[in-house]
Chain A
Amino acid sequence: MTGRAERITALLRERFAPARVEVVDESARHAGHAGARPEGETHFAVTVVAEAFRGRGRLARSRAVHEALGAEFAGGLHALSLTLRAPGEPGAE
């Protein structure tokens, strides 16, 4: 079975062809809190640097990521901390 971090990474690569993608499972930091599950895999920090984001506002970028990960939200993904940049923007490196 593949873990959620790997699935998220694969979905983001497929959707955005990103120059960089980083997915960090932060579930352990939220253990015991509402929405956390004993098996973990609920809270992730995601950084995506992709040309696809250029010219799009913050809401549009986040919505595109939420849409790409719709099945994961339906399957227990609870929180995403998103850093979404086009190449060359501050924070993209």
Chain B
Amino acid sequence: MSNPVFERIQSDITENPVMLYMKGNAMFPQCGFSARVVQILSHMNVPFKTANVLEDPELRDGIKEFSNWPTIPQLYVKGEFVGGCDIVTEMFQSGELAGLFEKAGIPAKSAA
């Protein structure tokens, strides 16, 4: 991989067990979809790192290409792409997200 944005993404998702690419930051999300994912992760008490794609047009395009996914937010757990807002929400509601964190050895509070 000689693409510098891809290299940065690869190192972010490797170094941070829960990495969220979003619009804005956890304190001030700038999009309802990003806000919902932040809310879910915060509710589950999961430590996570965020990258604000609005501050970085290269990252904004790069992450879409890297994940082959056309929209933001995008959640990675242990280097694996989980999905965007709809998928994270559905997995939270069904309990699958708690299961995923448990399997990954990330302490989380379950949906209930």
**Do A and B belong to a common assembly?**
yes
Chain A residues engaging chain B, CB cutoff 8 angstroms: 30, 33-35, 58-59, 62-63, 66, 73, 78-83
* Segment from B7-15, B43-51, B78-86 that makes contact with A: B78-86
State the main secondary structure of chain A at its contact with B: mixed
In the bound complex, residues from chain A placing their C-beta under 8 Å from that of B71 are: 78-80
With CB as the reference atom, state the residue of chain B lying closest to A79. Answer: B71
B87 at the interface (CB under 8 A from A): yes
A83 to B30, CA, bound (A): 23
A34-B85 in contact (CB<8A): no
Cross-chain contact of B31 among A33, A59, A63 (Cβ < 8 A): A33
Q: Is the CB of B87 within 8 A of A34?
A: no
Choose among A33, A62, A73 the residue that contacts B87 (Cβ–Cβ < 8 A): A62
Bound complex: CA of A73 vs CA of B69, how far in Å?
11
User: Interface size bucket, B side?
Assistant: 10 to 19
Residues in B neighbouring A63, C-beta threshold 8 A: 68-69
Interfacial chain A residues near B6, Cβ < 8 Å: none
Report 8 cross-chain contacts, Cβ distance below 8 Å, ordered by A residue. A30-B32, A34-B30, A34-B54, A58-B83, A58-B90, A62-B69, A66-B70, A81-B33
Nearest B residue (CB) for A35: B31
Residues of B within 8 A of A66 (CB): 69-70
Complex Cα gap A56–B69 (Å): 17
Q: How far is the CA of A34 from the CA of B34 in the complex (A)?
A: 13
- A62 and B23 within 8 A (CB): no
**A63 nearest CB neighbor, chain B only:** B68
Residues of A within 8 A of B33 (CB): 79, 81
The residues in B between 73 and 97 inclusive whose CB is less than 8 angstroms from any CB of A are: 81, 83-87, 90-91
CA distance in complex: A1, B78 (Å): 46
**In the bound complex, do residue B81 and residue A59 qualify as a contact, i.e. CB atoms below 8 Å apart?**
yes
7 tightest A-B contacts by CB?
A: A73-B70, A58-B87, A82-B86, A66-B70, A79-B71, A81-B86, A59-B83
